[in-house]
């Protein structure tokens, strides 16, 4: 299979973990006889520095031509005081909107070896396996441009959704639930927000179309509590943009680290942009210690969702599991006992080694 992949490493650890994903994909291409062609473009802070904008036109154009896109992370203190239109984060929001990526899938499934790496009690984390389906191109992030009014003494941010925007993400939530344990939790703030009332109305209307799925509504504040007191109760959680952003970082503690969470940003066809949930981690950038697994697992999601390469995706996931099972971990994972702490490059090398060894075993067996 021949695929053209655009890489958007971005800033901070984004560039470090992108190298890891590329190495893993190269190993997969070698072992399975695929041709993955990579082209790298600027986004975020690096694009501001080089092109004067966080999202250059050539980046957008290249993404539109590609079969799929991998994104590292954007942002950093260097650009924190820039005016809003010159912030790295604008590049990320821009590319999501330009590509129509309204559905962000954030699977949260801990690896068994990492149960004790979570600050939560093991029996709480045990059995948790959920998917946050986050609306990605609406809500507060894309309201009427925020303004300062009244001589800078008041501010306005708007939370806008159309019925159509809610319908398509709620459909996605139901469809994901149908492929999993058939339970959908819709998270909103319908006791206060008009947008949430419409959201809840849409979920209620849609549920007749998905009779095999059990639906519940949970207010976002309670959802935040339930997520860390009894996470195993959740299967698919569908929610609006900002609630999903916050809840997914919270949910990452179930896995032991934010550095473990991958995501897929999708639209209706098989095209997608794949990005770790974490950011550019300026506190550890440049030290070679970032956890590359969220990025590597995002590449696995790309293999699965955009290229329908299930075996290849499963091999990447098994490689990650095997390396963790052997006790290797990056510094962000709080491993007790006999674990061995490694940096980004070593972790990547171990994953690649496993992929190569596993494929070699398979080809011997099939002779």
Residues making up the annotated binding site for Mg(2+) are: 221, 245, 249
Token pair of 241 as six digits: 């943009």
* Selected catalytic residue, list 19, 126, 171, 249: 249
Q: Tell me, letter by letter, the H, E, C secondary structure of the chain.
A: CEEEEEEEEECCHHHHHHHHHHHHHHHHHHHHCCEEEEEECCCCHHHHHHHCCCCCHHHHHHHHHCCEEEEEECCCHHHCCCCHHHCHHHHHHHHHHHCCCCEEEEEEECCHHHHHHCCCCHHHHCCCEEEEEEECCCHHHHCCCCEEECCCCEEECCCCCCHHHHHHHHHHHHHHHHHCCCEEEEEECCCCCHHHHHHHHHHHHHHHHCCCCEEEEEEHHHHHHHHHHCHHHCCEEEECHHHHHHHHHHHHHHCCCHHHCCCEEECCCCCEEECCCCCCCCCCCCCCCCCCHHHHHHHHHHHHHCCCCHHHHHHHHHHHHHHHHCCEECCCCCCCCCCEECCHHHHHHHHHHHHHHHHHHHHHHHC
Binding mask 22-61 for ligand IPM (x = CB under 6 A): ----------------------------------------
Stretch in the footprint of ligand NAD (CB under 6 A) among 24-32, 235-243, 286-294, 351-359 = 286-294
Stretch in the footprint of ligand IPM (CB under 6 A) among 32-40, 87-95, 144-152, 183-191 = 87-95
* Binding flag, residue 315, ligand NAD (CB under 6 A): no
* Binding flag, residue 312, ligand NAD (CB under 6 A): no
Active site annotation includes 126: no
* Binding flag, residue 135, Mn ion (CB under 5 A): no
Annotated binding site for NAD(+): 76-89, 279-291
Q: Which is nearer to ligand IPM, 89 or 129 (CB)?
A: 89
* Binding flag, residue 332, ligand NAD (CB under 6 A): yes
Query: Minimum distance between the CB of residue 86 and ligand IPM, rounded to whole angstroms?
Result: 14
Annotated binding site for substrate: 96, 106, 134, 221
Active site annotation includes 42: no
Alpha-carbon distance 328 to 322, whole Å? 9
Within 233-272, the residues that bind Mn ion by CB under 5 A are 245
Q: Which of 92, 114, 301, 333 contacts ligand IPM by CB under 6 A? A: 92
Stretch in the footprint of ligand NAD (CB under 6 A) among 116-124, 205-213, 273-281, 302-310 = 273-281
Alpha-carbon distance 107 to 99, whole Å? 21
Pick from 112, 111, 108: which is nearest to 131 by CA? 108
Active site annotation includes 189: yes
Q: Which is nearer to ligand NAD, 87 or 206 (CB)?
A: 87
Within 258-277, the residues that bind ligand IPM by CB under 6 A are 277
Query: Minimum distance between the CB of residue 314 and ligand NAD, rounded to whole angstroms?
Result: 22
Residues in contact with Mn ion by the rule CB under 5 A: 245
Residues in contact with ligand IPM by the rule CB under 6 A: 75, 89, 92-93, 245, 277, 279
- For the annotated catalytic residues, the residue numbers are 141, 189, 221, 245, 249
Residues in contact with ligand NAD by the rule CB under 6 A: 13, 73-76, 89, 92, 258-259, 275, 278-284, 290-291, 294, 332
């Amino acid at each position: 299979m021949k695929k053209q992949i655009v890489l958007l490493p971005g800033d901070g650890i984004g560039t470090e973990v992108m190298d890891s994903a590329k190495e893993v994909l190269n190993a997969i291409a070698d072992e399975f006889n695929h041709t993955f062609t990579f082209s790298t473009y600027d986004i975020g802070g690096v694009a501001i520095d080089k092109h004067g904008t966080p999202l250059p036109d050539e980046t957008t154009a290249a993404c539109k031509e590609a079969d799929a896109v991998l994104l590292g992370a954007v942002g950093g203190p260097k650009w924190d005081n820039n005016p809003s239109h010159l912030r790295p984060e604008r590049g990320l929001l821009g590319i999501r909107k330009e590509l129509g990526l309204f559905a962000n899938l954030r699977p949260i499934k801990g690896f068994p070896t990492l149960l004790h790496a979570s600050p939560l009690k093991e029996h709480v984390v045990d059995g948790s396996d959920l998917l946050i389906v986050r609306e990605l191109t609406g809500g507060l992030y894309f309201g009427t441009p925020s303004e300062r009014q009244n001589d800078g003494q008041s501010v306005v941010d708007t939370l806008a959704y159309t019925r159509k925007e809610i319908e398509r993400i709620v459909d996605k939530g139901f469809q994901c639930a149908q492929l999993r344990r058939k339970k959908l939790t819709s998270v909103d703030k319908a006791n206060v927000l008009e947008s949430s009332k419409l959201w809840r109305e849409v979920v209620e209307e849609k549920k007749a179309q998905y009779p095999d799925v059990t639906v519940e509504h949970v207010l976002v504040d309670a959802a935040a509590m339930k997520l860390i007191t009894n996470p195993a109760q959740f299967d698919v959680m569908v929610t609006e943009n900002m609630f999903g952003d916050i809840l997914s970082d919270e949910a990452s503690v179930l896995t032991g680290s934010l550095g473990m969470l991958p995501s897929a940003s999708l639209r209706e066809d098989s095209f997608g942009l794949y990005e770790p949930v974490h950011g550019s981690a300026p506190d550890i950038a440049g030290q070679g210690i970032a956890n590359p697994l969220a990025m590597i697992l995002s590449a696995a999601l790309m293999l699965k969702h955009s290229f329908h390469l299930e075996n290849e995706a499963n091999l990447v996931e098994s490689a990650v599991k095997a390396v963790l099972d052997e006790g290797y971990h990056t510094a962000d994972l709080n491993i007790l006992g006999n674990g061995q702490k490694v940096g980004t490059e070593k972790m990547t090398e171990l994953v690649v080694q496993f992929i190569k060894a596993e494929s070699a075993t398979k080809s011997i067996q099939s002779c």
